[in-house]
Amino acid sequence: MALGAAPARAQSAISASVQDCGSIVIPPGLGIGPGADVTSLNPLLTSSLYNQEAAGLIFEQLLWINRYHEIDYERSIASAVTSPDDGRTYDITLRPWLWSDGAPVTSADVLYAFQLMKAFGSAYAAYGQGGMPDIIGSITAPDAAHVQVVLKRNVNPQWFILNGLSQLMPLPQHVWAKYTADEIWQGQSDPDFFRVGDGPLLPVALNIGIDAVFVPNPLYGGAKMHFSRFVMKFENAEGQELQAVQSGDLDMSNIPFDLYAKAKQLPGDEVVTLPPSYSYHELIPNMANRTTLFFGDVRVRQALADAIDQQRIVDLAMHGLGLPVYGPVPPYPPTFLSPAAKAGKFAVGYDPARAKTLLAAAGFAPGPDGVLQKNGLPLAFTLLIPAGQPLRIEIAESIQQDLQAVGIAMKVRQMEFNQLLAAMVGQPQAWQAILIGMNLGAYPSGEELFAQGAALNNNGYASAEMDQLITMSTDAPGLDGLFAYQDFASAQQPVIFLPNERYSVLVRKGLHGVQDFLNPLGAWAPEKLYCTSGGAP
């Protein structure tokens, strides 16, 4: 029946003076970024990280992936996953688990989730990630506690388990089956639709633009919660979040980088610095735009990477809270770093002299105004950045200075995010370069990013060797393919990789367990939060 006490992973010792926290109020983007609210509770339909956090509270993960990219089977609904034929068939064993209305969670719920994924087609938020759902040839349920998935081809099991299989979270078939796909779509933000869940919390109210309110699931089979009310309260900006902690409205908030030093000095509150997120910023050079065909020359891209002082970006824009990134795999945790990357040996790095040499070799010479040119055309372009984000502005301006030093003229232009996306995705002649952030999946392969014609390949990058290496990383066993792919991508710079940041969180006095609660890869663990005297009522 019930699972029993706390998961096995080591955690800070909980002293005897643990109290009920009462209510916990946090902003939705804690540890991710500021300024968005919860607009949907359906894990299948929303790609927003903020909404995913909320959905993850209601529905237990099939596979709980911790910050080291390992599966914590104590915290997952799957008690075991095996692949008898090393990559084509996967047998999942479900642990005994209950929905909040008492019905058991069975393999039928997993099959139902898969059915829904297929029904939504490309409206399914994670469509294409880990090959899902089309990579699955057949999915069957030998009995109520087992699911067998057979793929259409052999793949690297680690890739598929981490990126693909993990998407199959059980959904309450006995409650949802009576609705059509359209009705489920329309009910995304209706808390009544989500009254039955199997995760730690259940939604009570979703007041758009105000807050999302949750209470503990009384039938949850995992650890007990140390609070009676959990509120995700929307704030427009990071600075406001910080002030809300200081005034007592919030229990935790993100800390804008600029205010990090100050936050450490605040009496009574604690600063918790999280491990770096599994993401990075990138400058995407458009190789498909007629005016910037020079980006197609790998020497130009390498020169861009060599010209940029990433450490200065980390120091200035992130106040030291970040790491330079030179390849497609974020540096922390080092689980998936190639030996070369682990040793810090990359094909590019801050070296303006080498940048100049590369550009000269590519045929560029300084023009009368100091800007490099070739055949009368200057090496100049406009970088689009999403509007209203101070961090991105600072990164862009730092890059502008660096590029100017080697003779590249870059202008910066802010643009509303949807317009930016519309240009990036559908109008190759409408943009020259874009600065954006990229989140990686648990297994950082590049099949969606850099393969020719890939869904998220928006800048026209194409290389047969890259495609080969990507396929090796997803289909061949072991990590050699992944290592080769990342070394090649680091040399090729299909996008110019830029630093990733470490977020810090301001926590009010008396609230603990934050490091364990927040998981840079995604799902929150609310059972880890607890309070000692000094907590809010």
Partner 1 sequence: MNRGRGGLTAGVSLGAAVLALGFIGPLLYRADPYAIHPAHALQGPSLAFPLGTDELGRDGLALLLSGGQATLEVALPAALLAFATGLAYGLLAGLGPGWLDKILMRLLDVVLALPSLVVLIFFAAIVPLNNTSLVLLLGFIAWPGLARLVRNEVIAQRGRDFILAAQQSGAGVFYLARVHLLRVIAPVLVVNATFLVGDTIFALSALSFLGLGVQPPQVSWGSLMQSALDIIALAPWWLILPPGLLIFASLLAASLTGQGLLRRGRGR
Partner 2 sequence: MIVLRRLLSSAVSIFILVTLVFFMAHLTPGGPAFSILGQKATPQSVAALNARLGLNTPLLAQYGIWWWHLLQGRLGYSYLLNRPVGALLWSYEVNTLVFYAVAISLSTVLAILLGLAQGVWHGRAPAKLIGAFQLGFYATPPFFTAAILVLVFAVGLHWLPASGIGNPRLAHPGLGSFAAHLVLPVVTVMLLTVPMLSRYFGEAVHEELGKDYVRTARAKGVGFTAILFRHVLRNALRPLVTMLGLSFPYIFTGGVIVESVFNYPGLGWLLWRSALSQDYPVLIAIVLLIGLLTVLGNLLADLVNGLLDPRANYE
CB of 65 to partner 1, least distance (A): 34
Residue type (1 letter), 243 = Q
Nearer to partner 1, 398 or 486 (CB): 398
Residue 273 as a binder of partner 1 (CB under 8 A): the answer is no
DSSP string, 118-174: HHHGGGSTTTTGGGTTTTEEEEEEEETTEEEEEESS---HHHIIIIIGGG-----HH
- Spell out the residues 6+ positions from residue 451 whose beta carbon is closer than 8 angstroms to its own: 457, 466, 467, 470
Q: Which is nearer to partner 2, 454 or 491 (CB)?
A: 454
Site membership for partner 1, residue 315 (CB under 8 A): yes
Residue pair 309/452 in contact (Cβ under 8 Å)? The answer is: no
- Is residue 194 within 8 A of residue 171, CB to CB? The reply is no
* Among partner 2, partner 1, none, residue 312 binds (CB under 5-8 Å by kind): partner 1
Q: Examine residue 316 and tell whether it contacts partner 1 (CB under 8 A).
A: yes
122 binds, among partner 2, partner 1, none (CB under 5 to 8 A by kind): partner 2
Please list, in sequence order, all residues whose beta carbon lies within 8 angstroms of the beta carbon of residue 247, skipping any fewer than 6 positions away.
none
**In contact, 106 and 225? CB cutoff 8 Å:** no
- Can you tell me which of 54, 71, 132, 396 binds partner 1, judged by CB under 8 A? 396
Contact between 400 and partner 1 per CB under 8 A: yes
Alpha helix positions (H), 194-344? 238-247, 260-264, 298-307, 310-316, 339-342
With CB under 8 A as the contact rule, the residue among 104, 352, 363, 390 that binds partner 1 is 390
**283-293 burial, b if ≥16 CB within 10 A, otherwise e?**
bbbbbbbeebe
Q: Which range touches partner 2 (CB under 8 A), out of 82-90, 218-226, 247-255, 290-298? A: 247-255
Helix axes 390-405, 298-307, angle to 10 degrees: 110
- Minimum distance from residue 441 beta carbon to partner 2 (Å): 11
Q: Give the shortest CB-188-to-partner 2 separation in angstroms.
A: 4
Q: Which of 84, 137, 248, 344 binds partner 2 (CB under 8 A)?
A: 248
Using CB distances below 5 to 8 A depending on partner kind, what does residue 398 bind out of partner 2, partner 1, none?
Answer: partner 1
Task: Take residue 441 and report the two structure tokens written for it.
Answer: 């999946």
Q: Does 128 bind partner 2 (CB under 8 A)?
A: yes
| Footprint of partner 1 on 218-257 (CB under 8 A) | 237, 239, 242-243, 256
Q: Could you give phi then psi for residue 127, rounded to 5 degrees?
A: -55, 125
User: Contacting partner 2 (CB under 8 A), which of 16, 180, 209, 265?
Assistant: 209
Nearest-approach distance from CB 387 to partner 1, in angstroms: 3
Q: How many residues does the chain have?
A: 537
- How far from chain centre, in Å, is Cα 315? 23
Report if residue 23 touches partner 2, rule: CB under 8 A: yes
User: What is the CA angle 379-329-8, rounded to 5?
Assistant: 155
Which residue's CB is nearer to partner 2, number 241 or number 306?
241
Task: State the Cα angle at 128 between 124 and 131, rounded to 5°.
Answer: 125
Query: Interaction with partner 1 in 411-430: which residues (CB under 8 A)?
Result: 412-414, 416, 419
Do the beta carbons of residue 484 and residue 296 sit within 8 Å? no
Site string (28-67) toward partner 2, x via CB under 8 A: -----------xx------xx-------------------
The residues that touch partner 2, with contacts defined as CB under 8 A, are: 22-23, 25, 39-40, 47-48, 121-123, 125-128, 185-190, 207-211, 213, 229, 231, 233-236, 240, 243-244, 246-249, 416-419, 421-423, 425-426, 436, 438, 455-456, 536-537
